[in-house]
Chain A
Amino acid sequence: GENVEQHPSTLSVQEGDSAVIKCTYSDSASNYFPWYKQELGKRPQLIIDIRSNVGEKKDQRIAVTLNKTAKHFSLHITETQPEDSAVYFCAARPTGANSKLTFGKGITLSVRP
């Protein structure tokens, strides 16, 4: 089955700096890669996703890049703000009607004011 790994497990950045969170996956059949943000005590929130026919996708201060050859994808947050502090989960899913998301272990991002 699919195995998704995230690294680092924690990341601390200064407000205004950029943050990059990386994930690797094992199943070459995976073609959908969402990112979720979970603030303390809240539900996981889908913030951006990318499909395997696209190499990069941007939405304001966040972007996701995908390298299918190397089987890794990354979340980029520019001009970080304290409200970006949260746990970020990456996930991967192969094609198929019954396919399921496999989540990474999560990365705690702390933005220092």
Chain B
Amino acid sequence: SAVISQKPSRDICQRGTSLTIQCQVDSQVTMMFWYRQQPGQSLTLIATANQGSEATYESGFVIDKFPISRPNLTFSTLTVSNMSPEDSSIYLCSVGQPRGSSYNEQFFGPGTRLTVL
């Protein structure tokens, strides 16, 4: 499977500021996703990062709050804007890799643990 890295691994931020999280993959991947995992909770999809076009956001998530870039097939960023304590969470990058010709397996990066004070 692809090797996925994220930066930073953790951060503590003040409310009202913004943080940009980077996701780097060691091989080209078609599908990249950003998830949020609140403490003790499941994985919630924020958006699909599309290479060369605007990200596709899930219900409840908007571009102004979570702008996403995907300049190429190995890299993406997620920005958490104008943060509040409710944004404290783990943010995970995920990639889809084809298994044979018929479906994709999905793998996760190590996550970024964000605490907003």
B42: which of A32, A43, A51, A103 is its contact (CB, 8 Å)?
A: A103
* Contact yes or no, A100 B45, CB < 8 A: yes
The docked-state distance in angstroms from the alpha carbon of A46 to that of B2 is 12
Cβ A43 vs Cβ B43 within 8 A: no
Question: In the complex the two chains form, is B42's CB within 8 Å of A104's CB?
Answer: yes
What residues on A are CB-neighbors of B105 within 8 Å?
34, 46, 49
Given contacts A43-B110, A49-B105, whether A100 and B43 have CB atoms under 8 Å apart is no
A43 to B107, CA, bound (A): 9
Choose among B48, B56, B92 the residue that contacts A43 (Cβ–Cβ < 8 A). B92
A20 adjacent to chain B (CB < 8 Å): no
User: Across the interface, which residues of B come within 8 angstroms of A51, CB to CB?
Assistant: 103
Give per-residue flags for B50-84: 1 if the beta carbon is below 8 A from chain A beta carbons, else 0.
Answer: 00000010000000000000000000000000000
The CA of A95 and the CA of B42, in the complex, are separated in Å by: 22
A105 at interface, CB cutoff 8 A = yes
A98 to B48, CA, bound (A): 9
List A contacts of B109 (CB < 8 A): 43
Q: Are A100 and B42 in contact (CB under 8 A)?
A: no
Residues of chain A from 41 to 77 with CB closer than 8 A to chain B in the complex: 42-46, 49, 51
Q: Count residues of chain A with CB under 8 A from any CB of chain B.
A: 18
In the complex formed, the residue of A with least CB distance to B56 is: A98
Is A101 at the interface (CB under 8 A from chain B)?
Answer: yes
Which residue on chain B has the smallest CB distance to residue A101?
Answer: B106
Contacts of B108 in A (CB 8 A): 36, 43-45
Q: How far is the CA of A101 from the CA of B109 in the complex (A)?
A: 16
Name the residue of chain B whose CB is nearest to the CB of A102: B45
Residues of B within 8 A of A105 (CB): 41-42
A34 touches B106 (CB 8 A): yes
| Residues of chain A within 8 A of B1, CB atoms compared | 46
The interface of chain B, by Cβ under 8 A from chain A, is: 1, 33, 41-43, 45, 48, 56, 92, 103, 105-111
